[in-house]
Structure 1
Amino acid sequence: MNNSCASFVEVAMKEKGCSEDYISQQEFSNIRSLSEGSSFMCFVETQGGIYQVQASQMAEPNIATILFSRFD
């Protein structure tokens, strides 16, 4: 699940215009997650802020909502 969480965040970063260099500098090792049934939630800390991923694996295709909170 942690790999899925990091993958969701990487895709979101690319879609929002982050460069490959910036993404490769991020450490996706501090991932906190929980799951219940087919749904999961995780939090990923990066250099710029915290990403929160909420996903459902029951939907076809799989659906995820990603929120970003920037560090001040």
Structure 2
Amino acid sequence: MTIRKLNPTAVLDEGTLTSPPAGLPSRNPTQPYWLAGGGSEVLRGHRGTEELPGTADVVVVGSGITGAF
């Protein structure tokens, strides 16, 4: 549900936001929480296979930016 459905006259004003927009990744990013304190040795650099396959039916590529918004 959008804010417009709740209040048709609502105006988005950055001054009324409770927190600033996330924006794009910064030049000096912070460390992800899952790596804080050294992170998990099991997850750090984990690969399911030694080599990636040459072909695939479906490939999902992501940088984690979705979580920033």
Q: Which has the higher contact order (CA 8 A, sep 6+)?
A: 2
TM-score range, shorter chain: under 0.3
- Structure number with larger C-alpha Rg: 2
